[in-house]
Structure 1
Amino acid sequence: MIPTAKCLAQRPGFVKRSAEELARFTKMAWNLETLSVPYKPYYLLDFTDQNTVAACKTMADRAVGGYSTANLDYVPADPATNTPAHARFHGTISTKLPQNWKIQRSGYAAFRNQDRGFWLFGRLYWDVDPYTYLALRVKSDGRRYKVNIQTDSIVESDIHQHRLFTHHHRTPRLSSASSSSPEDITSYSSEQGEVVPAALADLPAENPSYPSNAYSHTTDPTTNPDSTGWETVLIRWNDFVRTNLGFAVEPQTSLLRQRIKSIGIGLTDRVEGPFDLRIHRMWATNGLSEEEMEEERRVCGLNALQMTGKEWAAAGIERPSLAEQEGEALSRLKGLKKRKDEGDAGGEKDSF
């Protein structure tokens, strides 16, 4: 696809975008980065740049007559408190229905980047195929946010989603592999009894088969006075769930990592009241580099991640996907059902 002169005139910055992409590809080829696992960060949305914040759009049910609000503001760095420059996503959720009788549900707010426009070889997408994780450095109020990713898919309204699990959602739970109590699988069921994908559950799946200190934090910012409240959340690209209009759909397809159009965060928990989420950066990674670890410790304090990406690889650490964890939980469900059926059958025999 070759953009026309009219299209280029409507999209300022075409030359700049083309130059930046060509420079990035040239650097990758010169350094032979495609021959090894990349450990340098690939920044997608860097909110330390005020222009990145200005280039995002907010959405709320107010657009259809509702009463929820959404704002995305740039907050400059504060050296006195060691706070980095970041974006503040805030507003109010209201479930009050608008006057339009066709609207039966309300109470949502979200933001995402604007379409990235065109460059020399057509529409501009993010290609994160060489990377395993999406990293987000955030400071959360504990509400149930979701990370939303839109790709150049066949169904344009499809969105791949994953819950933004922070320290607020990591509660102490029994992690014994032999445990099969119903409490262990509540995060996989909705209020209506249907199975909910682990990536969209209210609590993160618990799995003791990988060292948690590599991926989570050593302290709880709500109780640790030395904590900054900032934390880095890692989400595997393969863990995102395909949804449409807010519901998981079948068949599930992998996220098209070579053609990502937009990334954003939404709040659809329909809990009335204010919300406040701070976002420092979003980037693709295979684990933090040595340089990133210095910033990680400076910004997140005692809640910093404990290992670099190369240390993960050297230790042979491979975090199981949520699909694998979900499969284990469903296996436990089947085991419980089988034992229940056997117990019912035994009771019937005793009655005779």
Structure 2
Amino acid sequence: MFPTRRLASQGFFKRSADEFGRLSRIAWNTEALHTPTKPYNLLNFEDEATTTGCKTMADRAVGGFSTASLDHEPADPSSNTPSHARFHGTISTKLPENWRVERTGYAAFRNQDRGFWLLGRLYWDVDPYAYLALRIKSDGRRYTVNVQTDAVVETDIHQHRLYTRHHRVRQEQPEAYESNPESPDAAEDLYPGGMPAALSDVPPESTIISTSTSTTTSGSDGWETVLLPFSSFVRTNYGFVVEPQTSLTRQRVKSIGIGLTDRVDGPFDLRIHKIWATNGMGEADIEEERRICGGNALPLDEGVRSGWTEQSEQLPEKESKQKSQEPQQKGLKGLKWEE
């Protein structure tokens, strides 16, 4: 069999070598026999190729007037700001002249299909991990994380709200939503079984976000890391919650993206540094977390640090003192939403 020019030009052999290398490391280190403690990078936007490898979507495809762009922003060493992707544009709920279009006002992006390797189509296998982690800098709007897998129904997407410290709930900004209120009938169509916890305005306790009240960081102000449980993602189809609810197929993840569907007119701006799968903040990424997020950094997860062994090593006195001064990562007590 001879590879076609199309396969060779798009890195078919490189993808195959990288995937074989990753699987070989897992086998050599017997990582499949215990819970992983190291992160599994999915989309690292420090690499400009990752940004250019994503696609943006907006209601302009159906005649709307919303815009969406995904640009690569270089690093700023003076403020410890890393290279990242900037998802920005404008939301417009103006309807086109096409009478068939009844709703507009959305924008999103996701990675392109990962292509093929030697054993078929390439997917992400995040089955050994509990959380999807995102390091972002948000403007406070109501973004949604979208995960698509190789499911029986190809158009199914599992969604979870992207909660942040700067997240604004509907009750705190009534004037921003009065122009586009969701009617009771529309809400009933979208959520026939009631609003799922992972899509509500108030984050569930399973979501791990920083509860720090610090307003200063060593890096750029506003950077933070959010951990979303894979088990909390809600199955949807064309924006509607569908039944029966099924967990996402973690062994065959096709794409990951972020969308904005709050239908509030005006500009939006979201910065994304990295997206990865994890079981908690471990020693492998805690240094980077503290350097970029500063006072908003999540604390070191003791389970990940010790490998969940019953007899873990004692922390050095200096690290123990520092840990006692850090905010707790779980729970939402003390978290203040922006007004």
How does the TM-score come out when normalised to structure 2?
Answer: 0.80
The question of whether the paired residues in 2 share the 8 Å contact of 1:167 and 1:220 is answered with no
User: Which runs of structure 2 are paired with 1:239-254 in the superposition (5 Å)?
Assistant: 239-254=232-247
The amino acid that maps onto 1:73 is D
The question of whether the paired residues in 1 share the 8 Å contact of 2:217 and 2:296 is answered with no
Measured against aligned partners, the alpha-carbon deviations of 1:24-47 in whole angstroms (never above 9, x if no partner) come to 011111111111111111100000
User: Which runs of structure 2 are paired with 1:26-175 in the superposition (5 Å)?
Assistant: 26-169=24-167
Aligned Cα RMSD in Å? 2.7
Rounded Cα–Cα distance in structure 1 between residues aligned with 2:159 and 2:246: 12
Give the SS at the match of 1:299: helix
The question of whether the paired residues in 2 share the 8 Å contact of 1:287 and 1:310 is answered with yes
Q: Paired residue for 1:196?
A: 195
Rounded Cα–Cα distance in structure 2 between residues aligned with 1:12 and 1:55: 11
Rounded Cα–Cα distance in structure 2 between residues aligned with 1:294 and 1:170: 29
1:279 equivalenced with 2:277 (yes/no):
no
Match of 1:304 among 297, 300, 303: 297
Q: Paired residue for 1:183?
A: none
Give the SS at the match of 1:310: helix
Q: Paired residue for 1:333?
A: none
The question of whether the paired residues in 1 share the 8 Å contact of 2:283 and 2:305 is answered with no
The question of whether the paired residues in 1 share the 8 Å contact of 2:209 and 2:330 is answered with no
Q: Which runs of 5+ in 1 are unaligned?
A: 172-189, 321-352
| Residues 226 and 122 of structure 1, relative CA distance in 2, 3 Å threshold | closer
Q: Paired residue for 2:230?
A: 237
Rounded Cα–Cα distance in structure 1 between residues aligned with 2:62 and 2:24: 46
The amino acid that maps onto 2:104 is S
Give the SS at the match of 1:300: helix
Greater mean deviation of Cα atoms: 128-137 or 9-18: 9-18
The question of whether the paired residues in 1 share the 8 Å contact of 2:148 and 2:158 is answered with yes
The question of whether the paired residues in 1 share the 8 Å contact of 2:70 and 2:86 is answered with yes
The amino acid that maps onto 1:45 is L
Give the SS at the match of 1:168: coil
The question of whether the paired residues in 2 share the 8 Å contact of 1:169 and 1:204 is answered with no
Give the SS at the match of 2:26: helix
Measured against aligned partners, the alpha-carbon deviations of 1:40-98 in whole angstroms (never above 9, x if no partner) come to 11100000000000000000001111100000000111001110110000000000011
Give the SS at the match of 1:256: coil
Greater mean deviation of Cα atoms: 308-317 or 76-85: 308-317
Cα offset for 1:206? 4.9
The amino acid that maps onto 2:253 is I
| Residues 273 and 290 of structure 1, relative CA distance in 2, 3 Å threshold | same
Q: Paired residue for 1:332?
A: none
Rounded Cα–Cα distance in structure 2 between residues aligned with 1:108 and 1:268: 5
Cα offset for 1:169? 3.3
Rounded Cα–Cα distance in structure 1 between residues aligned with 2:46 and 2:329: 31
The question of whether the paired residues in 2 share the 8 Å contact of 1:46 and 1:281 is answered with yes
Cα offset for 1:143? 0.3
Cα offset for 1:11? 6.1
Q: Which runs of 5+ in 2 are unaligned?
A: 170-185, 313-327, 332-339
Rounded Cα–Cα distance in structure 2 between residues aligned with 1:170 and 1:108: 18
Measured against aligned partners, the alpha-carbon deviations of 1:165-216 in whole angstroms (never above 9, x if no partner) come to 0012388xxxxxxxxxxxxxxxxxx965961000011111358xxxx9xx33
Rounded Cα–Cα distance in structure 1 between residues aligned with 2:147 and 2:222: 25
Cα offset for 1:7? 8.3
Cα offset for 1:12? 1.7
| Residues 11 and 259 of structure 1, relative CA distance in 2, 3 Å threshold | farther
The amino acid that maps onto 1:140 is S
Identity of aligned residues (%): 63
| Residues 319 and 82 of structure 1, relative CA distance in 2, 3 Å threshold | closer
The question of whether the paired residues in 1 share the 8 Å contact of 2:84 and 2:273 is answered with yes
How does the TM-score come out when normalised to structure 1?
Answer: 0.77
Rounded Cα–Cα distance in structure 1 between residues aligned with 2:154 and 2:139: 31
The question of whether the paired residues in 1 share the 8 Å contact of 2:216 and 2:295 is answered with no
Cα offset for 1:291? 2.8
1:205 equivalenced with 2:198 (yes/no):
no
The amino acid that maps onto 1:254 is S
Give the SS at the match of 1:87: strand
Q: Paired residue for 2:173?
A: none
Give the SS at the match of 2:166: helix
Rounded Cα–Cα distance in structure 1 between residues aligned with 2:167 and 2:202: 6
